[in-house]
Amino acid sequence: MRVFSLALIMTLAASPQAGELTEVADPLVGKVEDKVVAWRRDLHQHPELGNREFRTAELVADHLRSLGMEVQTGVAHTGVVGILRGRADSPVVALRADMDALPVKEMVDLPFASKAKGTYMGKEVDVMHACGHDNHVAILMGAAEVLAGMRDQIPGTIKFIFQPAEEGAPPGEEGGAELMVREGVMKNVDAVFGLHVGPSPLGSIAYRPGQFMASSDRFQITVDGKQTHGAQPWGGVDPVVVSSQIVLGLQTIISRQLDATLTPSIISVGRISGGVRNNIIPSQVEMEGTIRTFDEKTRADIHRRIEQTATSIAESAGASATVLIDHGYPVTANNAELTQMMVPTLKRVARNNMAVETSRVTTAEDFSYYQLEVPGLFFFLGVANPKDENPAPNHSPYFYADERALPIGVRALTHLALDYLEQSTKD
């Protein structure tokens, strides 16, 4: 892991002005803008689910090859990695974009709206880039073209990571950033940068040193009772009532058992299923939900308390409960020193200087796996249309990204890579 010197941090923090290399890059960003918009529209119209991004990967790989890069395909199933070698092998900086879409039916009236279908959980579903990953891919493709056009001036190496399955791999499969890391994409990398679009003011940038996005775990609780007639509940053990008590009990973990001064935490039950008709008390009920927090010790404590709460409540009613917890993404935590170094860059590229430090958010991102390997900085790029007073959130069928944010994203990733490499070689 790279250690940042105080002198390097102070140099960047004191100088928000563009460096020599970024001044060369900016005219190239303008030249690639129309291509970025065209790529984004094409990707938006042809979304693909996680680990099935075949067309997207081919488009990306062909583009990177056309730029003369060393290209690796089939990484973590459908991932693509491009390596741009400048006038030195090191330092190495990585830029990442995620490629997958969601099983959502698009409701936005666009000439390039998605009409794509896919298979999810064994069923045919509509598919949409409801989280904006089409923007991420197009932005990184644009940054790749800009940086390839000035490779002889770049004091290091840039790795372009196009990642599948950020939204999660299909059941029974591995994927995403965790698998990409295991397959070696972070080897020799010194720092990594990534962005995510969202319904914030157009061209704004939001960042945070340290804890930024929550960890995300999925839990499933199966409550086994004893089936009986609905008119004679005393003849069995009602898992519906027990499950209701468990749902309420889980909420007391956050409100009454954890130290509220330590870190925000959430337990949400999102699905309950059981029974076949109104007058039969079933033998079994299933529920599943999500756990979000920002601290690993608290995360482990919540897991323990969920198990204890569910099994104890079930036992008190003569039922039994089985708890399964699927460890998801770790906390997305920006390296504090790297963030401090690069804030001047973010302020320079944001529209109308709208680069602000923001609060923690309880959504999650598997960019966190890269940050476990090397210092990383992840930030949000605002893509809301200024005329929209109530922009739809990510994952909504009405999510819309204003394309005027695209060149700002290209400029942000380009400047971050160049500023990092240029200042690192002066260290």
pLDDT tens for each residue of 204-233: 999 999 999 999 999 999 999 999 999 999
| CATH number for domain 215-329, candidates 3.30.70.360, 3.40.50.300, 3.40.50.12280, 2.40.50.100 | 3.30.70.360
Q: What is the pLDDT of residue 46?
A: 98
Calpha distance 100→176 (Å, rounded): 10
- Whether 370 is a known active-site residue: answer no
Label residue 17 by pLDDT band (50, 70, 90).
Answer: low
Q: Torsions phi, psi of 343, nearest 5?
A: -55, -45
Q: Is residue 18 pLDDT above 80, yes or no?
A: no
Calpha distance 24→28 (Å, rounded): 7
Q: Is residue 2 pLDDT above 80, yes or no?
A: no
Q: Is residue 101 pLDDT above 90, yes or no?
A: yes
Q: Is residue 350 pLDDT above 90, yes or no?
A: yes
Structure tokens at 13: 């923090």
- Whether 420 is a known active-site residue: answer no
Q: What is the pLDDT of residue 425?
A: 86
Note the Cα 270 to chain centre separation in Å: 20
Q: Is residue 99 pLDDT above 80, yes or no?
A: yes
Q: Is residue 13 pLDDT above 50, yes or no?
A: no
Pairing between β-strand 191-201 and β-strand 92-98 as defined by DSSP bridges = parallel
Q: What percent of the chain has pLDDT over 70?
A: 96
Which amino acid, 45? Q
Calpha distance 58→71 (Å, rounded): 11
Q: What is the pLDDT of residue 4?
A: 47
Calpha distance 228→282 (Å, rounded): 7
Looking at residues 161-178, what average pLDDT do you find?
Answer: 96
Looking at residues 168-196, what average pLDDT do you find?
Answer: 97
Q: What is the pLDDT of residue 426?
A: 79
Q: What is the pLDDT of residue 157?
A: 98
Looking at residues 75-89, what average pLDDT do you find?
Answer: 97
HEC readout, the chain: CCCCCHHHHHHHHCCCCCCHHHHHHHHHHHHHHHHHHHHHHHHHHCCCCCCCCHHHHHHHHHHHHHCCCEEEEEECCCEEEEEEECCCCCCEEEEEEECCCECCCCCCCCCCCCCCEEEECCEEEECECCCCHHHHHHHHHHHHHHHHCCHHHCCCEEEEEEECCCCCCCCCCCCHHHHHHHCCCCCCCCEEEEEEEEEEECCCEEECCEEEECEEEEEEEEEECECEECCCHHHCECHHHHHHHHHHHHHHHHHHHCCCCCCCEEEEEEEEEECCCCCEECCEEEEEEEEEECCHHHHHHHHHHHHHHHHHHHHHCCCEEEEEEEEEECCEEECHHHHHHHHHHHHHHCHHHCEEECCCECCCCCCHHHHCCCCEEEEEEEEECCCCCCCCCCCCCCCCCCHHHHHHHHHHHHHHHHHHHHHHCCC
Q: Is residue 10 pLDDT above 50, yes or no?
A: no
Q: Which residues of 47-71 are buried (b: 16+ CB within 10 A; e: fewer)?
A: bbbbbbbeebbebbbebbeebebeb
CATH domain 6-211+331-424 topology:
Aminopeptidase (3.40.630)
List pLDDT tens digits, range 377-421. Answer: 999 999 999 999 999 999 999 999 999 999 999 999 999 999 999
Beta-carbon contacts of residue 93 (< 8 Å; ≥ 6 apart): 156, 157, 158, 159, 189, 190, 191, 192, 193, 416, 417, 420, 421
Q: Is residue 12 pLDDT above 70, yes or no?
A: no
User: Contact 84/154 with Cβ under 8 angstroms?
Assistant: yes
Highest averaged pLDDT of the listed ranges 4-8, 18-22, 118-122, 138-142: 138-142
Label residue 11 by pLDDT band (50, 70, 90).
Answer: very low
Structure tokens at 382: 């605002």
Calpha distance 314→320 (Å, rounded): 5
List pLDDT tens digits, range 295-317. Answer: 999 999 999 999 999 999 999 99
Where are the domains positioned within the chain? 6-211+331-424, 215-329
Looking at residues 329-342, what average pLDDT do you find?
Answer: 98
Question: Which of 329, 369, 370, 400 is the catalytic position?
Answer: 329
Q: What is the pLDDT of residue 302?
A: 98
Looking at residues 63-85, what average pLDDT do you find?
Answer: 98
